[in-house]
Structure 1
């Protein structure tokens, strides 16, 4: 079998992948669009080509031997976006994982490495294929060497043989450098001859063969202007040809034999894909994501109780309220686990719920209890009219505070590596999906009791760790009190008017129909708007709009592609609106209708207290923190959220620009502090400083840009990221960021200082001492380290804002109860607290709520709260 060598232009393919895909990132916040696209291309090559030899060449640096000929070579190129630079180490790691050779050579380009190896392999009778997006490489084509040029998208290529080059350009491969010599190349800043484009260059070369041939027969060139340009730029043309010529005799220190491709160790590849969150690519590898079998368990002694007496109960016990699924509002309680100095016990559900002795103990504030997922247990029991009290430790919360990065989804994960004790996974007890079933009573009892024993064993080590890190109060004074407030809010629920939602559904359906007709009219025909394939044909073939990228299945019509085309044709705005309205109807109107509790006409969400590493809360089933506010139709969804009683109203209060106020507090920047102390609009202030204008000269667009920078800067936003968000050039974005830092110098100092502190300490902290560990901040991997630095900058700000609103919820709950008000908290959404209250209490709430929220934590700048009330959540905004 003939040996086959594949040579890949690494920089070119990585760039192609980065710009062809949206700016993706995984659950760790690592940008992955370039590495994902590169991986797709690599897998396709391996599958289709089955090469015996392979190498990926990279540029070694910005300076090459060509710069000694022309110092402006490749000058004017925009700086590589940091979001892409961060991914190059991952591309190299991918190749190493696959065992594919890679090479770069100081003072030379990837093209030169490829050209040298291609010539070597061609002489040794290899079949050679070069893959790149750079047309320069077409000069390497011969009977042994084929060049595949990437087209739109990632995996689609156009193959060039000598015949294909002749057909497309009417030139031989050798004449490609002559064409570049005459027409130049803007992307590489090769000047060429002014006024000569591709058509003229090809015409000249068909007549005179080479650049030198043109000048040897200069008198035969027709056209006065063309003749003048050629005559005046002879040296430049010859230099341009030299610059475009690939060095096929580069001093590389490897041979074709060194590119032999070993069989990849697919388990290592799978682990790499898992680390990046590439689950779809794992599926292509045929990798199972099932859990490993659990280890053999040690025996434990416990008793199954049919009657509960005082002899089984204690003032210091560990308790498990066992449920299979996550939704404790509706889940069946499988039984109870109890461990104390008197023994270990399993209590069947009926026995526990019907025992007055057990109920009295559960509701006894003096009987201290260690409860895993105290909120879930509290709410589940509350639905049974049992009011759990006396909880003074929750290992789920404690573990989350101790290290918010660890997984808390599975009890067995919680104890893994922390105590010398074994426990099964929930899946091994109950099964999974359709195979889920009720386990044998003995197996269930053993599993539940093991959990209670594990809680007791965990408590001492977790409390010791929290005290050591000065975080014990974060558990006892913030997270634990909050968990029961959240439990009450979840149990109370929020009233949602079904009829209002249905009416909105009808209106949205009508709006969809209206938009559909307008789209058909603009398109000139009917088609399936929800079909990317049909839509792509309409937009990019029939209407001839500039296409972003094309895949095997057709043109990409993703939101990021369409948003860039919005100014090109009215139909784009209509399609984007059509999609937004469709999502509103399916996700929010129809979605909410599915989860309204028929018994009380309410939705009972669940607040996740142990998910976000910053300490922020989130909500699920339904996600009430995601109801859109930008689209008018989206805001109207809130009209369905009303108070649960007649003559009651919704009262909403939210922190104004809390993260920027926290930034002012932490950075101690005088300009930022001054704006907040004087109650000046900070976005207007930033616009004034950056654009050097007076307040009355600040336009809405100036303020919009200033707002984007104010909120983006602490997330480590780059000039590329800002340019994408504002629709401006990277140069403009870069200047904007520079001016911002000139206006707020201590913000820049903070960002630099916090990164250095994180490198020394290994973590960053919020103002209430919540920690986030960032071991990746010293990583040699540029990509991983870049994300870690952004995390270090942002976490103290976002985390402190989260701590403040949590503290406010606890203080507000205390005040409402101490003043015997009927008003109650029902929702928390980002920086906003939503209450329902009788109308007669509104005057009290308008003073009490802002007072509590604004003084929850004292900062060097004042906290400010905006509030409103109304018949619905919509009116209260």
Structure 2
């Protein structure tokens, strides 16, 4: 059986992968999509081919042998995109880590290297496969040399295969004749001029008829059309040069032996070095290919499993006064199960409600060899671990997810005196959360597991929980293999302990230590209290609300069917498109691959003139309300009759909080029936809701940060800011501003904050792009400092790579360095908005901390329940209403010292609807 040789065109496949996949970057900001795509293509080829020899060829930048043959020839290729160029050395590093043979020859293109090696392989009696995205290599195809051309798409990679007979069948010429076709038609991307006026169709027909450019030249007087005949003669020297340039060299002086390219087993490629590099580049989907018993790591597995309480007490005594990291492990048993997030990106653990929380165990680290897993139920109780954790004496208490730990107990105690209050504040400062620290240093990732922190800050490659556990739970792993079960938990606490000082230094170096210490860390305790408190909900009222929606949905269904003249699945875009644009012949149809577009954007333009479309939009709104809120919220009610949402502190890049399970920050307010859902949220007996909402906080932040005197004065006069803007932009008296002009000015005011374009504004206001551009131009003429501020912000972001808020929060903007225009434009909008939105987010966080702490310090029975972007909701003891309103006013308005006042709107009521 013949040996098999696989040759890969390095630059070509990288290029295909780069343009075939969306942009990817790792935590270091390194672009990785081309490398990732290349590896996926290569692995697929190797699994199909199972070669005996493997080689990758790359171009070198020096002029090639073929180009040097022609004096004065100055063909130039299009420069490589910077995001692709930076991945070439990375690709070579990966191939070397895998032990794959790389060949490149000064003065020769990769094509020539591939041509030479494929010829040698065939002469040695091998079957050869050449992998390239460049169709020029089709000239190498023979009975034993196959050219394979991958086409990377979002749906996967398709591969076209060509032996010599396939080239003839597809292109009507032989592989050798393919060179002559290229010589006639030329190729600007490959520096081959060709003959002017001859395209692919004519070139193919001529070579199919005559066999070569030389034969075509001999019969030039017979060639048609006449222009081609004339140009072949006139540009004959250019045609000869083009043929030489198009011909791949197959006998280059390349030092190469098949021994260095030998591959006896594909598994050889999955080396420890390659594993480490895949971890660094965050190719998590590829890690499963590595069957390493123990990847190289710099952490000795010095953890100990402890089941005896006396030994546990000795260990805690030994840890006294030291910096310690901890992690509580909830049990996964219980009749009634309640969710509790235990680690970023980790599984949802469950514990039994109605009793003291049950633990499966706890991990603890306070030294290189002092890493322990304490298991309960075998001599150690949950109560012992919780008490030990709560009362531990330590110079610093470290966690990778402190809020999850605080769900067991809030180490505050009673606040009755100034001394007790100061003790509480000091205690709060003694904690560190490495997940939040890592988030501040790189807010673009969304999750911060221990393996990423270890890799980025400790230079350690640690296997993730998913790699060690798969889909199994801790309890399942514990039954199967105690040692493996302990690993990810012990890695977690060790990484937190080891990285804490490094993370602190990084935060200080980047000017974010004050932000971390004074805003983000105190907020952990605030959010923990809010989550545990929860918000009461009337289950019966919610059920009635759902029934009301169902009735309205049913009415709309019948109206839609009646207007359509038949019944159909309204939720099916395909069926709906056929009804609207074929049967009813509605205008402005947009055809897609799957049928007619029935997006909201399409339907909203039709709704004013076509009642059926208006009904469909209403139907969509109501079905969304029912499924997401009426039905969805009912599934989230806990045994105490409350909903306990989870506030996420490390998700958004700008610093805003998000809410999940359920999302209480997305309760609809734009339509009345949507707002009605707020009626089912109510305070406990003897309490009411007090709700305070910042007024135009982002626009006020913009006024302050830009220093624009016009906008600042407008706010200081406490006038209608949108009416003032309309008056100044349209040059009309304040009292003569029409409602439409005010609405347009409002759209510009808020749009500017988000870097709105003339196109975006034209869509919002249903005006022409030219009119929208004029609005924006007038706006900047009215508020010139705002234009200067936004321009300078973008300029600074381009130079530094990030933006900052008033409180020092950084937001990286990698899109600004993209070679793609749309990506850069998006980056500019992000750069304009992030300092404003991020500063507003910082202010609301400060307000939350101040309001929460005042309520606690003054021993109020009232408590902070929710934050919804710029709004705070306090469940207020009725006798404390005036006190709470005073606290909200003082703390929210005093949260930041801006050039304009921070104003709030405060309402109260017996439910959330009345209070908003």
Shorter-chain TM-score category? 0.5 to 0.7
Once residues 196 and 644 of structure 2 are traced to their aligned partners in structure 1, the CA distance between those partners, rounded to angstroms, is 63
The aligned residue for residue 395 of structure 1 is: 434
How far apart are residue 501 of structure 1 and its match? 0.9
Q: What is the CA deviation profile of residues 486-508 of structure 1, one whole-angstrom value per residue up to 9, with x for unaligned ones?
A: 01101111111111110010000
How far apart are residue 537 of structure 1 and its match? 1.9
- The DSSP-based 3-state class of the residue aligned with 2:635 is helix
User: Which one is further off, 854-863 or 839-848?
Assistant: 839-848
Q: 1:811 and 1:353, CA in 2 relative to 1: closer, same or farther beyond 3 A?
A: farther
The aligned residue for residue 851 of structure 1 is: 890
**What TM-score do you get using the length of structure 2 for normalisation?**
0.64
Q: 1:465 and 1:358, CA in 2 relative to 1: closer, same or farther beyond 3 A?
A: same
Q: Does 1:774 align with 2:780?
A: no
Q: Does 1:321 align with 2:360?
A: no
User: Does structure 1 conserve the Cα–Cα contact (< 8 Å) formed by 2:83 and 2:819?
Assistant: no
User: Which one is further off, 413-422 or 800-809?
Assistant: 413-422
Out of 777, 781, 788, the position equivalent to 1:742 is 781
Once residues 90 and 725 of structure 1 are traced to their aligned partners in structure 2, the CA distance between those partners, rounded to angstroms, is 34
Q: 1:627 and 1:104, CA in 2 relative to 1: closer, same or farther beyond 3 A?
A: farther
Once residues 629 and 805 of structure 2 are traced to their aligned partners in structure 1, the CA distance between those partners, rounded to angstroms, is 34
The aligned residue for residue 444 of structure 2 is: 405
User: Does structure 2 conserve the Cα–Cα contact (< 8 Å) formed by 1:89 and 1:783?
Assistant: no
Q: 1:629 and 1:729, CA in 2 relative to 1: closer, same or farther beyond 3 A?
A: same
The aligned residue for residue 821 of structure 1 is: 860
Q: 1:700 and 1:531, CA in 2 relative to 1: closer, same or farther beyond 3 A?
A: same
5+ long unaligned stretches in structure 2:
1-21, 27-36, 38-80, 88-130, 137-184, 190-194, 210-223, 225-234, 249-283, 330-341, 353-357, 415-423
Q: Does 1:374 align with 2:374?
A: no
Once residues 774 and 84 of structure 2 are traced to their aligned partners in structure 1, the CA distance between those partners, rounded to angstroms, is 31
User: Which one is further off, 413-422 or 733-742?
Assistant: 413-422
How far apart are residue 416 of structure 1 and its match? 1.7
The aligned residue for residue 579 of structure 1 is: 620
Q: Does 1:627 align with 2:667?
A: yes
Q: Does 1:728 align with 2:775?
A: no
The aligned residue for residue 690 of structure 1 is: 729
Pairing 1:534-545 to 2, within 5 Å after superposition: 534-545=575-586
The aligned residue for residue 302 of structure 2 is: 301
Q: Does 1:637 align with 2:677?
A: yes
How far apart are residue 760 of structure 1 and its match? 2.6
User: Does structure 1 conserve the Cα–Cα contact (< 8 Å) formed by 2:400 and 2:434?
Assistant: yes
Q: 1:557 and 1:490, CA in 2 relative to 1: closer, same or farther beyond 3 A?
A: same
Out of 836, 858, 866, the position equivalent to 2:905 is 866
Out of 672, 697, 702, the position equivalent to 1:658 is 697
Q: Does 1:565 align with 2:609?
A: no
How far apart are residue 646 of structure 1 and its match? 0.9
Q: Does 1:600 align with 2:607?
A: no
Out of 370, 381, 393, the position equivalent to 1:354 is 381
Q: 1:389 and 1:675, CA in 2 relative to 1: closer, same or farther beyond 3 A?
A: closer
User: Does structure 2 conserve the Cα–Cα contact (< 8 Å) formed by 1:353 and 1:359?
Assistant: no
How far apart are residue 814 of structure 1 and its match? 1.4
Q: Does 1:344 align with 2:371?
A: yes
Q: 1:258 and 1:495, CA in 2 relative to 1: closer, same or farther beyond 3 A?
A: farther
The aligned residue for residue 828 of structure 2 is: 789
How far apart are residue 354 of structure 1 and its match? 2.1
Once residues 754 and 679 of structure 1 are traced to their aligned partners in structure 2, the CA distance between those partners, rounded to angstroms, is 28
How far apart are residue 288 of structure 1 and its match? 6.2
Once residues 610 and 422 of structure 1 are traced to their aligned partners in structure 2, the CA distance between those partners, rounded to angstroms, is 23
Once residues 132 and 641 of structure 2 are traced to their aligned partners in structure 1, the CA distance between those partners, rounded to angstroms, is 55
User: Does structure 2 conserve the Cα–Cα contact (< 8 Å) formed by 1:397 and 1:610?
Assistant: yes
Pairing 1:165-564 to 2, within 5 Å after superposition: 293=290, 295-297=295-297, 298-305=299-306, 306-307=308-309, 308-309=312-313, 310-315=316-321, 316-322=323-329, 323=342, 325-327=346-348, 333-341=359-367, 343-350=370-377, 354=381, 358-364=385-391, 367=394, 368-380=396-408, 391-432=430-471, 437-439=476-478, 440-564=481-605
Once residues 641 and 438 of structure 2 are traced to their aligned partners in structure 1, the CA distance between those partners, rounded to angstroms, is 36
Once residues 27 and 617 of structure 1 are traced to their aligned partners in structure 2, the CA distance between those partners, rounded to angstroms, is 24
- The DSSP-based 3-state class of the residue aligned with 2:807 is coil
User: Does structure 1 conserve the Cα–Cα contact (< 8 Å) formed by 2:438 and 2:503?
Assistant: yes
Once residues 745 and 318 of structure 1 are traced to their aligned partners in structure 2, the CA distance between those partners, rounded to angstroms, is 52
Once residues 114 and 489 of structure 1 are traced to their aligned partners in structure 2, the CA distance between those partners, rounded to angstroms, is 74
Once residues 608 and 186 of structure 2 are traced to their aligned partners in structure 1, the CA distance between those partners, rounded to angstroms, is 43
Out of 830, 836, 851, the position equivalent to 2:869 is 830
Two-structure CA RMSD over aligned residues (Å):
4.0
The aligned residue for residue 42 of structure 1 is: none
- The DSSP-based 3-state class of the residue aligned with 1:363 is helix
User: Does structure 2 conserve the Cα–Cα contact (< 8 Å) formed by 1:823 and 1:835?
Assistant: yes
Once residues 25 and 699 of structure 1 are traced to their aligned partners in structure 2, the CA distance between those partners, rounded to angstroms, is 46
User: Does structure 2 conserve the Cα–Cα contact (< 8 Å) formed by 1:652 and 1:876?
Assistant: yes
Q: 1:99 and 1:811, CA in 2 relative to 1: closer, same or farther beyond 3 A?
A: farther
- The DSSP-based 3-state class of the residue aligned with 1:615 is coil
Once residues 792 and 320 of structure 1 are traced to their aligned partners in structure 2, the CA distance between those partners, rounded to angstroms, is 37
Once residues 513 and 843 of structure 1 are traced to their aligned partners in structure 2, the CA distance between those partners, rounded to angstroms, is 46
Q: What is the CA deviation profile of residues 512-565 of structure 1, one whole-angstrom value per residue up to 9, with x for unaligned ones?
A: 011112212222333222222222222112221114322354322121211122
User: Does structure 1 conserve the Cα–Cα contact (< 8 Å) formed by 2:700 and 2:902?
Assistant: yes
How far apart are residue 485 of structure 1 and its match? 0.6
Once residues 353 and 824 of structure 1 are traced to their aligned partners in structure 2, the CA distance between those partners, rounded to angstroms, is 35
User: Does structure 1 conserve the Cα–Cα contact (< 8 Å) formed by 2:636 and 2:662?
Assistant: yes
The aligned residue for residue 58 of structure 1 is: none
Q: 1:257 and 1:290, CA in 2 relative to 1: closer, same or farther beyond 3 A?
A: farther
Once residues 805 and 329 of structure 1 are traced to their aligned partners in structure 2, the CA distance between those partners, rounded to angstroms, is 32
Q: 1:436 and 1:328, CA in 2 relative to 1: closer, same or farther beyond 3 A?
A: closer
Once residues 452 and 434 of structure 1 are traced to their aligned partners in structure 2, the CA distance between those partners, rounded to angstroms, is 18
How far apart are residue 789 of structure 1 and its match? 1.8
User: Does structure 1 conserve the Cα–Cα contact (< 8 Å) formed by 2:706 and 2:789?
Assistant: yes
The aligned residue for residue 808 of structure 1 is: 847
Q: What is the CA deviation profile of residues 224-279 of structure 1, one whole-angstrom value per residue up to 9, with x for unaligned ones?
A: xxxxxxxxxxxxxxxxxxxxxxxxx9xx9998999999xxxxxxxxxxxxxxxxxx
- The DSSP-based 3-state class of the residue aligned with 2:477 is coil
How far apart are residue 357 of structure 1 and its match? 5.2
How far apart are residue 846 of structure 1 and its match? 2.0
The aligned residue for residue 81 of structure 1 is: none
Once residues 664 and 289 of structure 2 are traced to their aligned partners in structure 1, the CA distance between those partners, rounded to angstroms, is 35
Q: What is the CA deviation profile of residues 107-161 of structure 1, one whole-angstrom value per residue up to 9, with x for unaligned ones?
A: xxxxx999945554555569xxxxxxxxxxxxxxxxx9xxxxxxxxxxxxxxxxx
- The DSSP-based 3-state class of the residue aligned with 1:417 is helix
Q: 1:433 and 1:527, CA in 2 relative to 1: closer, same or farther beyond 3 A?
A: farther
